[in-house]
Structure 1
Amino acid sequence: MNIWNKAFATTALAIVMAGPALAQEATAPSSDISGTISVWTWPNNDRTLAALMPTFNEAYPNITVNVQGFPTANDAYLNNLQRAMLSNSGPDVAMIEIGMMALLRDRPHWADLREAPFNASEMMDEFAPFTVQNVTLDDGKIVALPKHTGPGGMFYRRDIFEEVGLPTDPTEVSALFSDWDAFITEGQKLVIPNERWVIGNGEEIVRAMMAQEGVSLFDAEGNLQFDHPVFRASLEKVKEAADAGMISPFAAWTPEWQGAFQRGQLATVLYGNWFGGLLKRAYATDQSGQWAVATAPGVSGNRSFNSGGDYIGILESSENKEAAWAFIQWLVTNDESLKQQFQNDDLYPAYSPAGEAEWLNFEDPYYGGQNVNEIFAPVQAELVPFTLNPLDNVAMTAMRTAIDNVARGVSTVDEAIEAAKAEVQARM
């Protein structure tokens, strides 16, 4: 799900889902539609979708859905999907991770969901606007439906904050950590040298700061943004944090990094709401009540950023487009579908009517009774959309190298920027 890292995180969760279907908000295709369709995705969306099938078949008893997962959204899955597209031998339905959207959306192999029998134009205003922008081509073609997003925040350990004399209430923490200067100043209090750090990696800072300024890896004309002042400023903040001992030595998504959460070695983490699913079910399973969520530190008063997202479309080669449409529309708009996906995987719906649902707005015991949607809902409403580019993955790799080199003292900020630019330009 995520241009930054969500695709690597999904393998960590196990899914168990059940419950009756509820009426969906959008107009549903006929329940008499029948047929068999294939769906391609990546872990653990494959388990998520498979677990939803009993509920789906209550609404559509005559549709059989065969789900197949391939490892990681931007690796084996992407390669298999691209090969299948070229040979017109792909599935009926395929998911698209946000980081791969620009690479895949212009392919002619997607069915145009504007057209009958889909008529998706009638429902697109019910999704978060930036997700609609991501799936709509310049000529108006709609290549997929938005599935989930990743509104970001600052997850933090209440007990560690209390230990060092910092406030623990989310409102007070949000006020104290209002910007990135405050994050450095106050965050230093959480450090125990070589034993406890504030964040896992500098990318968390860079990703949030760039998004808050509305700066993507490339601009709308395809120009690389590594010379933008906010990229330099964010790398300077990484250096400040590293010099203060705030950044862990663990590479993100490694077993050592994952274990640092369980060991209480990381006091905060800056990712999308989906990261809560990893804390609850994989990284910090015995820390219920110790975590909370605050608004992320901000730039120029903007504290919102997106950290993830996935979409689902129908291939033109599908021989059962009506069944495929019934499935994807149900998946992304049906209340029970979205409820189960959220309750079992902390997947935040792109479908706006779900924002008022009780299952999304409740006092979560894992967060000490906090309703964390009070943090995430305003973020989703206020964030600045990414400008997506087919070379995002190349630029992201170069950016991560630059961040790591600055954090480890291998390069100055200027050296890191020039090296990152050269790496991307060599691939353009």
Structure 2
Amino acid sequence: MLFNAARTAGKILSLTVLLVSTSLAQAQSQILSVTAYPAVDEIIKAAMPQWKKTHPNVEIKLVSRAFEDHHTAMTTALSTSSNLPDVMALEFAYVGRFGAGGGLEDLSQSPYRIKDTQMRFVPFAFRQATLSTGAVVAAPTDIGPGTLLYRTDLLKKAGVSEAELTQSWDSFVASGVKIKATTGAYLMAHARDIKDILIRSNVKPGDGLYFDAAGKVVVDSSRFVRAFELARRVRQQQLDGKISGWSTAWSQGFKNGNIATQMSGAWLAGQMASWIAPTTKGLWRASQLPEKAWGAWGGTFYAIPKAAKNKALAWEFIQFMTLNRDAQLSAFKVQDAFPALLEAHTDPFYDQPIEFLGGQKARLLWREAALKINAIDVNKLDPIADEIVNTELDKVLDQGKDIPKALADAKALLERRARR
């Protein structure tokens, strides 16, 4: 009987220890919620094992949605202050809009103090997340240095050299005439592409794409006039296929050799190789943009909503993803996410030839571009301005609308939106 009592007491003690241990483990474990989109979600998944080494009791709950669905969901979450993650990934085009809405933490303030590490980031990328108030609403993790991808077989058949193609925008268009005449291929998918890079060229420090440092609308400036004129010239000479990016016709044009060039971020070369046009391996090369027009396409940032539950842990995660050289290089090697961290710009990987580009060491070109791109200020109305300008460009290209009139109308409409 004494034995049974001792055994019962032992069981109770063991159960108590188990319950206490379980309770402590639960108390110590935490869940960090992160939302992202392809291929940022894959980058985060790949980084989880390394993160777990220093945060063994933190479970990352990753929610991934398609690109547009993700940003729509985050727009709704911020406006309602519900269903918000601890960390949200944002594409550059959404940073200014979300930041100006007041729903994101200012990372320049304590306890974050991101400006203490500002010099470790590519200058233009850090500036992209900085509002006119000085608030820094997100941390850059990858960037899209602008590049020109071109088909060597089409250029060779047309007797056009890379130097001729890229010397100036005028020579770029003239090369397109030769290419079309001898190969039947379009110079570019859509005339809008040339507008997109030209409005990003020669932006004054402190200015944005559509607004100057004082908030004045500048869509009727010489930048936009030249961009519209060149786009119109491309269309008038039938050098573009009127093909929208990311459409089936767009990817098919690359596969079939119907499109000779594409201006985009450096990341496009990796996507061309992996799924857009892998059968064209070896036919493409990369160069700097014509006329050394340093520009950027896209880029990924991490932000913390003001209503997030685990802000301290969220900031640790963001620092791990953006200030960890190994994590940055891993994302670059696996997903072609060009590092925003300068420390990750010195690695033998940059000197390696890229098979899809015929063995070209194109990462060296992209690294050079990354350091020469001007910082462009962001504005919450940038997405709306982009829609307005594109609508007016379509009227110029498709309806023959006068360029000064089109830009004046765009300016007037944008000024009305800014006054609301």
TM range (shorter): 0.7 to 0.9
Q: Which residue of 2 aligns with 1:10?
A: none
Q: Rg bigger for which structure?
A: 2
Task: Give secondary structure in 1 for the equivalent of 2:278.
Answer: coil
Q: Which residue of 1 aligns with 2:19?
A: none
Alignment of 1:21-420 (within 5 A): 35-72=30-67, 75-89=68-82, 90-115=84-109, 117-137=111-131, 140-167=134-161, 173-174=162-163, 176-192=165-181, 195-214=184-203, 216-298=209-291, 302-420=292-410
CA–CA distance in 1 between the matches of 2:235 and 2:131? 41
CA–CA distance in 2 between the matches of 1:210 and 1:257? 23
**Aligned 8 A contact 1:35 1:323 in 2:** no
Task: Give secondary structure in 1 for the equivalent of 2:33.
Answer: strand
Q: Which residue of 2 aligns with 1:17?
A: none
Count, aligned residues: 386
Offset of residue 146 of structure 1: 0.9
Q: Which amino acid aligns with 1:66?
A: K
Against the structure 1 CA distance between its residues 235 and 69, is the aligned structure 2 distance closer, same or farther, given a 3 Å change threshold?
A: same
Query: Percent same amino acid at aligned positions?
Result: 24
Structure in which a larger fraction of residues adopt helix: 2
Q: Which residue of 2 aligns with 1:6?
A: none
Offset of residue 320 of structure 1: 2.4
- Please list every run of 5 or more consecutive structure 1 residues that lacks an aligned counterpart in the other structure: 1-32, 168-172
CA–CA distance in 1 between the matches of 2:325 and 2:353? 19
Against the structure 1 CA distance between its residues 383 and 179, is the aligned structure 2 distance closer, same or farther, given a 3 Å change threshold?
A: same
TM-score of the pair, normalised by structure 2: 0.84
Deviations 1:30-87 (A, max 9, x none): xxx9621011223332333234323432443332111112333xx5433422332344
Q: Which amino acid aligns with 1:203?
A: R
Runs of 4+ that moved beyond 6 A: none
CA–CA distance in 2 between the matches of 1:290 and 1:409? 36
Against the structure 1 CA distance between its residues 226 and 144, is the aligned structure 2 distance closer, same or farther, given a 3 Å change threshold?
A: closer
Offset of residue 278 of structure 1: 2.1
TM-score of the pair, normalised by structure 1: 0.83
Against the structure 1 CA distance between its residues 83 and 193, is the aligned structure 2 distance closer, same or farther, given a 3 Å change threshold?
A: same
Task: Give secondary structure in 2 for the equivalent of 1:206.
Answer: helix
Against the structure 1 CA distance between its residues 327 and 361, is the aligned structure 2 distance closer, same or farther, given a 3 Å change threshold?
A: farther
Deviations 1:5-52 (A, max 9, x none): xxxxxxxxxxxxxxxxxxxxxxxxxxxx96210112233323332343
CA–CA distance in 2 between the matches of 1:158 and 1:403? 30
Offset of residue 115 of structure 1: 4.8
Task: Give secondary structure in 2 for the equivalent of 1:308.
Answer: strand
Task: Give secondary structure in 2 for the equivalent of 1:269.
Answer: strand
Task: Give secondary structure in 1 for the equivalent of 2:88.
Answer: strand
**Aligned 8 A contact 2:143 2:339 in 1:** yes
Task: Give secondary structure in 1 for the equivalent of 2:279.
Answer: coil
Task: Give secondary structure in 2 for the equivalent of 1:68.
Answer: strand
Against the structure 1 CA distance between its residues 163 and 406, is the aligned structure 2 distance closer, same or farther, given a 3 Å change threshold?
A: same
Against the structure 1 CA distance between its residues 333 and 155, is the aligned structure 2 distance closer, same or farther, given a 3 Å change threshold?
A: same
**Aligned 8 A contact 2:96 2:131 in 1:** no
**Aligned 8 A contact 2:39 2:335 in 1:** no
**Aligned 8 A contact 1:113 1:144 in 2:** yes
CA–CA distance in 2 between the matches of 1:87 and 1:327? 25
Deviations 1:357-383 (A, max 9, x none): 222332111111111122212211111
